Structure 1
Amino acid sequence: MKTADRTRLTPTSYTLLGLLARRPWSAYELNKYMQLSALRRIWPRAESRIYEEPKKLAALGLASLAEEYQGARKRSVYRITAAGRRALAAWFAEPGAELVYEYETLVKLLNGDHCDDATLLALIEEVRRQAREEARQVMAACEQILEEGWRIPETAEHNGLVIGFIRENIEARLRWADAAEKRLGERRRSRAETAEARARRWYRDEIERLQALA
């Protein structure tokens, strides 16, 4: 595949190529899997985008499209091509993009000087509520998989690794909520300390913790 074509591919493109490398799929099946699997947690995409992506792969010669019949019903099925398999293999050799945060509640906290402490505590509680709700949803999905089995057995172990990452993230958010509440309480108790002095102390603490991680 030409370099110019490679630049048109996105992680969504490669995600679908990975699915097509396992078996043929219709666009409907690809979309349904993307919405129901662990991919929904780590790479959420609009349904319209998922329906358009296989067409792009076919246009680039990375997938082929054929009409098949299931009884009297005709459907369009995508298959990966040899060029698609080469593109997928090349993708694994490239560094992945860094983690990007996009969390409205944190944006609100950054603007916390425009609200009172009760509102800030409510925002922190929202982080906690969302984390616990995600824990319940992921747990229910795991239990369903154990009961019904994996739609793609080859991904069972890898899904387990991803679920572990998601669970660690949930735990981190809950720990952060506890620490953030503690810091707000500390602020209320130490009125003699200026906001800047308190922030400097918090920053020094964060730097020390980050040094241990780095």
Structure 2
Amino acid sequence: MARENTCQFAILGMLCREPMSGYGLRQAIERTVGHFWQESYGNLYPTLERMEGEGLVALDREEHSPGGRVRKVYRVTAEGRRVLAEWLRRPVVPHVERNELLLKLFFGGRVGPEDSLAHVERSRAEAEGLLAVLRLIDEDIHRSREDHPELPYWHLSIRAGLLGLEAHLRWCDEAQETLQRLAHTKDSKKKGERDGR
């Protein structure tokens, strides 16, 4: 069975908030759901065009930039709202996460603990940065949108991201400790071999 193109549902959800251009959609996705959902320009624009042809979105207006470029601003149609609501009610399709860090760690014995330790340390730094950004987003949403009826739903997704990153950081601590111990054991073994033990 072909995997469903969920890009259209991210677009529909964003356009339910307000009319936007393709560029505006990309920015809105990055600012709001970007910690767990990303779309590329390469996928976003063709999907928007297809959705317009299917009557899910419609051209709201055209905006002219100072540079002379025309930006199409789209709005969701009644059919688009119906399709989004139908999709929101369907069960979530299970997926297996593709995690390159874990794949490299699984085979890390082929190169030694130092390389794996470097991967974990980079992942830790990235997670710390993302956690800081997510905390700021959470604070900003609560401060600026405290009366918005969708705030509890937004908070649930942000909270999942916060807890996931906090768990990842705890795992990084354990992984670093294990890999440092392995590196120390390896160094001690090499030293013993050099000393003829």
TM bucket, shorter chain: 0.7 to 0.9
Counterpart CA distance in 2 for 1:186 and 1:68 is 61
Output aligned runs, 1:28-43, within 5 Å: 28-37=23-32, 39-43=33-37
Inter-partner Cα distance in structure 1 for 2:96 and 2:109: 25
Mark the CA change 1:186 to 1:18 in structure 2 (over 3 Å): closer, same or farther. Answer: same
TM-score (norm 1): 0.69
Q: 1:31 to 1:189 in 2, by over 3 A?
A: closer
Name the structure 2 match of 1:49: 43
C-alpha contact 1:31 1:51 (8 A) present in aligned 2: no
1:123 equivalent to 2:108? Answer no
For the residues of structure 1 that align with 2:167 and 2:100, how far apart are their CA atoms?
17
In structure 1, the partner of 2:5 is: 10
Q: Between the two proteins, what is the percent identity of the paired residues?
A: 28
Paired with 1:186 and 1:31, the residues of 2 have a C-alpha distance of: 44
Q: By how many angstroms is 1:12 displaced?
A: 1.5
Runs of 4+ residues over 6 Å off in structure 1: 188-191
Paired with 1:64 and 1:75, the residues of 2 have a C-alpha distance of 14
CA contact 1:28–1:51 (8 Å) conserved in 2: no
Note closer, same or farther for the CA distance 1:78–1:17 as it changes in structure 2 (3 Å cut): same
The residue number in structure 2 matching 1:91 is 87
Q: Tell me the residue number matched to 1:169.
A: 164
Task: Give ranges in structure 2 of 5+ residues lacking alignment.
Answer: 187-197
After the TM superposition, which residues 17-166 of structure 1 pair with which residues of structure 2 at under 5 Å, given as runs? Answer: 17-37=12-32, 39-68=33-62, 75-145=71-141, 149-150=144-145, 153-166=148-161
SS at match of 2:23: helix
Change (3 A) 1:189 1:79: closer
Contact 1:62 1:81 in 2 (8 A): yes
For residues 80 and 40 of structure 2, the distance between their equivalents in structure 1, rounded to whole angstroms, comes to: 23
Q: Please name the residue that 2:190 is paired with.
A: none
Q: Counterpart of 1:170 in structure 2: which amino acid?
A: L
The separation in 2 between residues aligned to 1:23 and 1:117, in whole angstroms, is 50
Q: Could you tell me how far 1:178 is from its partner in structure 2?
A: 2.4
User: RMSD of the alignment, in Å?
Assistant: 3.2
Distance in 1 between residues matched to 2:104 and 2:164, nearest whole Å: 20
What secondary structure, in the 3-state scheme, does the structure 2 residue paired with 1:21 have? helix
**Amino acid of the structure 2 residue aligned with 1:81:** T
Query: What CA distance in whole angstroms lies between the structure 1 residues aligned with 2:63 and 2:170?
Result: 53
Provide the secondary structure at the position in 1 that maps to 2:58.
strand
Q: Is the 8 A contact 2:135 2:162 kept in 1?
A: no
1: distance between equivalents of 2:30 and 2:101?
Answer: 24
Deviation at 1:50, TM superposition (A): 2.0
CA distance in 2, matches of 1:69, 1:123: 45
- Unpaired runs of 5+ residues, structure 1, are 1-6, 192-214
